[in-house]
Amino acid sequence: MMKNIRGRGKGAQLRAPTITLFQWWLAVLAVVMVLGAGAGLVVFAKGLVVTNLTDLVPWGLWITLDLSSIAMSAGAFLLCAAVYLLGLKEFQPVARTATFVGLIGYSMAMLCLLLDIGRPDRFWHAWVFWNPHSVLWEVTMCITLYFTVLVLETAPIVGQAGWMQRRWPRLAQTLVSVHHYAPVFAVIGLGLSLLHQSSLGATYGVLKARPIWSRPDLSVLFIASAMAGGPSLVVFVSMLTARLTRQAHIKDELLEKLSLFIGWVLVGYLYFRFWDAFSMTYTYLPGRTEGLTLLTSGELAFNFWVGEILLGAAIPIILLLTARLRRIPLLRMIALALVVGGVVAYRWDTNLVGQLVMLTYLPQEIAARYTDYVPSLIEFLSGAGIVAYGLLAFTLGARYLNIVDHRAVPEAEHEARLAAAAGD
């Protein structure tokens, strides 16, 4: 289908159908964003009573979207580390895409949090009042600092844009010069991201009140799944963009190598998942055993077996680690999309399972009680609005900032300029 679109554009030499497709896409995004903004205003005006959240399930759809957005940003730190710390220079253009995706992901996460907190007018309290004992304090610091790093890492991308250099050459030059510090940002970004991705797992893992969450390995599973999901999204959107617009240029061998890497990360992730789940089946622990049952044969079983394990890990592992299958672009794209879906499903299940099972505190019976949660329409609409914002930001980036362009070698350009400057 994607090939069709491309083929038609080439064959007929008509710009009109392409433009229409683009405009349609923008129109759909605009509608969803307007609906989302409206829903968001309702939330701010009426408060969280418009959600289906309760005192038993106080964290729902928005938190899942927040966790997923952060996980999907993991490509940025991985690729920047690969390029600037491991010296895999050929991946530099992919790192550009990943950085931009990361910036979008982090901004989406912050929008989710703004919706989710009961007092959005006090969001700045998170920076002013500190409780360093809290995992969420550390999460706040990581979000803030890493978002700053991502902005700095994206500055050269904006500076390199043709329209930027024509219109504001001075500013563009300044922005491009920030690239000089890319290795420093890569080190800082690596540290902050490892901390942040893991501590989101630890946010749940440290809670003794919820035995299914209270496992130290949640932090490992969060970083491992993010290391698979983040790059998957980057490779997927790169391939998709290259099929939808002639403005994007990809080097398929780079994306293929990266996909192989993702396949192996998934193997490691599945390995951890297996022992994590297997160890929980041994002794009966009130709350934890019920939670595991909920995942494996209860309400969340379809999400777990099909969404997380089969489609989210097992099938992508086969598709990405078998060279013959991986080289078929469509199959590779399907595999990568499945990985993204699997990571989102994992975040959703993890967040929900600890809240759907609640332990009683009556001394004679520490027993599990069950509750339910289905997001309200307002939650869905505002969440969809945030996703639409992310898609729009990427679309505009691909069109006006050449986010997906594997021909550009800014590294060489920059070095040449430095050499020229040194020569003067």
Partner 1 sequence: MTKVFSGRNPVSPRNGVSEASSKEKVGRRSFLKALAAAVTAAAALRLSQRATKASEPVGSSPHKWAMVIDQGKCVGCGYCTLACRAHNDAPPSISWNKVIPAGKVGNREVFLPRPCQHCEHAPCVEVCMVGASYHRADGIVMMDYDKCIGCRYCEVACPYGARAFNWEAFTGPNPVVPMWGEPEVERRPRGVPEKCSFCYQRIDRGLALGLKPGVDPEATPACVVACPMKARAFGDLNDPESEVSRLLAAHSSYRLREDLGTAPRVYYLPARQEVSG
> Dihedrals φ, ψ of 368, to 5°?
-85, 140
**Residue placing its CB nearer to partner 1 in the complex, 355 or 402:** 355
Distance from C-alpha of 278 to C-alpha of 271, rounded to nearest angstrom: 11
Rule CB under 8 A: is residue 361 a binding residue for partner 1? Answer: yes
- What residue spans of 117-168 are helical by DSSP H? 125-128, 135-160, 162-167
> Dihedrals φ, ψ of 369, to 5°?
-120, 150
**Nearest distance, CB of residue 119 and partner 1, angstroms:** 4
Rule CB under 8 A: is residue 359 a binding residue for partner 1? Answer: yes
Stretch that binds partner 1, among 75-83, 128-136, 145-153, 380-388 (CB under 8 A): 128-136
Q: Are strands 357-359 and 368-370 parallel, antiparallel or unpaired?
A: antiparallel
Dump strand ranges (E) for 12-105: none
Rule CB under 8 A: is residue 3 a binding residue for partner 1? Answer: no
Q: Which of 55, 421, 422, 424 binds partner 1 (CB under 8 A)?
A: 55
The two three-digit tokens of residue 103, written as one number: 């910036």
Distance from C-alpha of 105 to C-alpha of 233, rounded to nearest angstrom: 11
- x/- binding map, residues 131-170, to partner 1, per CB under 8 A? xxxxxxx-xx------------------------------
Rule CB under 8 A: is residue 59 a binding residue for partner 1? Answer: yes
Distance from C-alpha of 324 to C-alpha of 334, rounded to nearest angstrom: 15
The DSSP bridge partners found for residue 369 are: 358
Rule CB under 8 A: is residue 45 a binding residue for partner 1? Answer: no
Q: Among 99, 117, 199, 233, which Cα is nearest to 153's?
A: 99
Q: Which of 5, 35, 48, 145 binds partner 1 (CB under 8 A)?
A: 48
**Residue placing its CB nearer to partner 1 in the complex, 80 or 353:** 353
Stretch that binds partner 1, among 56-64, 69-77, 233-241, 371-379 (CB under 8 A): 56-64
Stretch that binds partner 1, among 32-40, 93-101, 118-126, 391-399 (CB under 8 A): 118-126
**Nearest distance, CB of residue 362 and partner 1, angstroms:** 5
Distance from C-alpha of 307 to C-alpha of 320, rounded to nearest angstrom: 17
**Cβ neighbours, 10 Å, residue 3:** 10
**Nearest distance, CB of residue 126 and partner 1, angstroms:** 6
Give contact residues for partner 1 (rule: CB under 8 A).
46-49, 51, 53, 55-56, 58-59, 116-119, 122-137, 139-140, 203, 206-210, 354-355, 358-359, 361-366
